[in-house]
A and B are shown apart, each in its own frame.
Chain A
Amino acid sequence: MPQPQPNLTRRGLFGNGLWAAVVAGITGLSAYLFGRTKQAKTVWQIDPDKCVACGNCATYCVLELSAVKCVQVYAMCGYCDLCTGYLDPDPKKLDTGAENELCPTGAIERVFVEDPYFEYNIKEELCIACGKCVKGCEAFGNGSLFLQVRHDRCLRCNECSIAAACPSQAFRRVPADDPYLLKGAKESKPAGESKGIA
């Protein structure tokens, strides 16, 4: 039988065992999570079907000018002359005068295409994501205007401030290689797997 070494104490043995157990625990947990890693990265996006255009996107983003912007899906747009996303509900005239516009920053550009159709473009540098046009378009139009996180601007906070303040839980994490939830394009897209946590 080998002689017990003089520096082998009960306390030392216990300490070493505990140390080894903790190391094994941390590496085991890491390996388990590593094995489950499905996609490289997720980013935040707004599900337009859930969004109620409450206006929180304009104020809750950590950026001074929100990373959320209105987008226009042209294929869905009715190109209406009397656009309820562009014009004030009670316009003085049907023209591009600022007093007739719904957008507080004049971020929607109205371009004549042909009688009686007008194209509406979002000037992203002006859009503050207040959602006024989204509400207007959704209420009486086709809903071709809706809010999306613009990833050239988003800082990708771990805990998105807007997501935490979103009244409809419309924010969710989506794969970074497919980072938009555009209306009209989602038939070809599987339903999001990752659930939004706010």
Chain B
Amino acid sequence: MNRRSFLFAIVLAFLLSAPLLAVERFPPPDFETNYSFPTTTVPPPRVDQYDYIDAAVLLVALAVATLLIYRKRCRKGVFLLMLLSLAYFGFWRNGCICPIGSIGNIVMSIFDPAYTVPIVVILFFALPLLAALLFGRVFCAAVCPLGALQDLVIFRPLEVPRSVEHLLRLFAWLYLGLAVLFAATGAGLLICRYDPFIGFFRLGDHSSTLILGASFLIIGLFIARPYCRFVCPYGLILRQLGRLSRRFVTITPAECVNCRLCEEVCPFNAIDKPTAPWPQDQFVSDKRRLALLISLLPILVATLAFAGTRLDGILSRSHYTVQLAERVALEQSGVVPDITPNEILAFKKTGRTTDALYADAAAIRRQFRLGGGILGAFIGLVIGLKLITLGVRWRRDEYQAHRAACLACARCFEYCPVRKK
């Protein structure tokens, strides 16, 4: 042990003894002058009358968006509402609270008995979902500030091949699954940590956040709304609810005349073209393929579930306790770094035994094994069902907005020559 580390050890021992001894080394003096102790100021949190205003604004914005899309069929109105939402939820309220991030809080409050969410978070989570069940993705169209920012920069949207789009969307499924897993195990709120536009909304943040946001916007010049389509976990939930919605966006207000004017206008690839007539000779091979895909589903689920349980080592390392246990174990095994990391200092300060820490870490790892398995099975199910739906020939006689993919942005309305009778 060299002199420096010896001195360090003495300081450390002194430091550690302080909370244990819990004696004041220098008792507060008895002043002879009439000095009175000042009190420590405790400024209260900023008053948040905004909470319920936010929820009210959300409700009103959803209602107005629905009105503009279904009753007025007016892109200009939708665009204006989108700008207002961007200004209010984004720049005025700094992008927090948002329904996308609320997924983490909701999941955490389900799994952590000590954590509860305020009512406003419940409202932000549930209102856009219920709106989607009634009217499709009106939230994405004109209320979401993240979507609005990306919608503004759409410059020359390229058409992403459908196959690529399906493939990229698997990333969003994985992101959703991981976000739920991390929130459930207490490893953190992934969606908020990697919110790409929060730095813009706050008008300044860490450079990593700004770079992430800027890259999304640059990609967004050519691939419309990349975060919404390929990353957003909330948008993914809204997609599925959009399939079930009571009312859905129709390109034409009356009967489609198959004029093809709307064919190219959707920057999000959300317009389905009429299908070619059924090729009779492929009937048997199609059926065979479908049978194959259906039988593939359980195999996919089982394989990926098994693979998921194997990932517990990597996944659980995202949790603080597991990281700490690994560092402590490293120190115990004799690999001592030059400088004791703050984590180890802090752990020693708590006075807990290493065995208790290891037990905690092992328990968390078991949670991740189970969670990883469920995540794997979930991804397997997603891939399997996707393959099955892709293997089925759907029949369409007219141009239709895809119920899940349509962001209800109202762009195509202007291109339809059919007017309401």
Q: Nearest Cβ in chain B — how far from A173, in angstroms? A: 7
Q: Nearest Cβ in chain B — how far from A179, in angstroms? A: 6
A23, CB-defined interface residue at 8 Å: yes
- Size of A's binding interface in residues, CB under 8 A: 71
Instruction: Tell me which of A79, A156, A168 contacts B342 (CB under 8 A).
Output: A168
A94, CB-defined interface residue at 8 Å: no
The segment out of B29-37, B282-290, B409-417 that lies at the interface is B29-37
B126, CB-defined interface residue at 8 Å: yes
Q: Are B45 and A159 in contact (CB under 8 A)?
A: no
Tell me, in angstroms, the Cα distance from A38 to B202 when the chains sit together: 30
Q: Are B349 and A15 in contact (CB under 8 A)?
A: no
List, in ascending order, chain B residues with CB within 8 A of A139's CB. 11, 14-15, 18
Q: Nearest Cβ in chain B — how far from A128, in angstroms? A: 16
List, in ascending order, chain A residues with CB within 8 A of B188's CB. 159, 164, 197-198
**Interface code A114-151, partner B: CB below 8 Å = 1, 0 otherwise?**
10010101000000000000000011111100000011
A106, CB-defined interface residue at 8 Å: no
A104, CB-defined interface residue at 8 Å: no
Tell me, in angstroms, the Cα distance from A36 to B345 when the chains sit together: 37
Q: Nearest Cβ in chain A — how far from B345, in angstroms? A: 5
Give the interface SS of chain B, mostly helix, strand, loop or mixed: loop
Given A22-B133, A34-B119, A182-B40, A194 and B114 touching (CB < 8 A)? yes
Query: Considering the complex, which residues of chain B in the window 78-110 have a beta carbon less than 8 Å from any beta carbon of chain A?
Result: 94, 96-97, 101, 104-106, 108-110
Tell me, in angstroms, the Cα distance from A23 to B132 when the chains sit together: 10
A27, CB-defined interface residue at 8 Å: yes
Query: Considering the complex, which residues of chain B in the window 1-47 have a beta carbon less than 8 Å from any beta carbon of chain A?
Result: 11, 14-15, 18-19, 24-29, 31-33, 35, 37-40, 42-46
Q: Are A33 and B109 in contact (CB under 8 A)?
A: yes
Closest to A80 in B: B26
Q: Are B43 and A151 in contact (CB under 8 A)?
A: yes
Given A113-B33, A195-B114, A197-B186, A140 and B25 touching (CB < 8 A)? yes
A residues whose Cβ falls under 8 Å from a Cβ of B? 15, 18-19, 22-23, 26-27, 29-30, 33-34, 36-43, 49-50, 52, 54, 62, 64, 71-80, 113-114, 117, 119, 121, 138-143, 150-152, 154-159, 161, 164, 167-170, 173, 176, 179-180, 182, 193-195, 197-198
Given A139-B18, A152-B46, A158-B96, 15 additional A-B pairs, CB 8 A: A15-B244, A30-B122, A33-B110, A34-B122, A37-B122, A73-B40, A77-B28, A117-B29, A138-B15, A142-B26, A151-B43, A155-B94, A170-B346, A179-B42, A182-B40
B residues whose Cβ falls under 8 Å from a Cβ of A? 11, 14-15, 18-19, 24-29, 31-33, 35, 37-40, 42-46, 48, 51, 94, 96-97, 101, 104-106, 108-110, 112, 114-119, 122, 125-126, 129-130, 133, 186, 188-189, 192-193, 202, 204-206, 241, 244, 246, 320, 341-343, 345-347, 349-350
Selected A-B contacts with CB under 8 Å, 22 pairs: A29-B106, A30-B125, A33-B106, A33-B117, A33-B122, A38-B116, A39-B116, A39-B118, A41-B118, A64-B204, A78-B24, A113-B33, A114-B33, A151-B46, A152-B43, A156-B96, A157-B96, A158-B192, A164-B188, A164-B193, A168-B342, A169-B320
